[in-house]
Amino acid sequence: MYSKATIAGHPIHPMLIGFPVAFYTGTLVGFAVYAATGSTFWLNLAIALNVVAVGSALLAAIPGFVDWTFGIPHGSAAKSVGLAHAGLNVIALGLFAISMGTYVTRWNDPTTGVALGLGLTSAGLLCTLAAGFLGWMLVQDYHIGVRLTPTQERDEVTVQSAHPIGTHRHQHPVA
């Protein structure tokens, strides 16, 4: 297990990531329903969720950064995948932070247009989904945050030296 930020041996980062994902999604839904209905309830919900989304993403990033910096072996394929995962999450956080900065002062403003909010949060959520794919790859393929059996520990050097997805060369049998 490569996680360095843990509670009772359990990695903290995976415990926290569900929160920003849920709040990011709720923010987008709030903006979309506000755009469709004009009800300021949905605008207020989107703004509130956006604030909590940014805060929870910052909170989840701290143990993720600690794990990437101190836990994943340097020069490993997992280190590269982790950097891409972090980069996409930082882009998503930036997009949601811009959205938050744009709308947080427009509480209850019935004239507020949401095209910018919809665009920023849609792009941010797409980045989050791509980052989630890479995060799962870190768990599934590189065993980040996974407690290994003795047999798995023996094979771990081979796993960590594997190439990231998309760079494998598959040989197809000749028929």
For residues 98 and 162, the model is more confident at 98
How far from each other are the two terminal CA atoms of the chain, in whole angstroms? Answer: 42
Residue 1 binned pLDDT confidence (cut-offs 50, 70, 90): low
Secondary structure class of 11 (helix, strand, coil): strand
Instruction: Give residue-wise pLDDT tens across range 4-13.
Output: 898 988 899 9
CA distances from 160 to 6, 71, 130, 142, 165 (A): 21, 13, 21, 6, 13
DSSP state of 6: E
pLDDT tops 90 at residue 66: yes
Percent of the chain with pLDDT over 70: 91
For residue 64, the model assigns a pLDDT of 96
Q: Rounded to two decimals, what is the model's pTM?
A: 0.85
CA atoms within 13 A on the CB side of 61: 20
Worst-scoring range by mean pLDDT, 70-79, 96-105, 124-133?
70-79
For residue 144, the model assigns a pLDDT of 85
Burial classification of residue 142, based on how many CB atoms lie within 10 Å of its CB (0-12 exposed, 13-18 middle, 19 or more buried): buried
Q: Where are the alpha helices (DSSP H) in 17-110?
A: 18-37, 40-66, 77-103
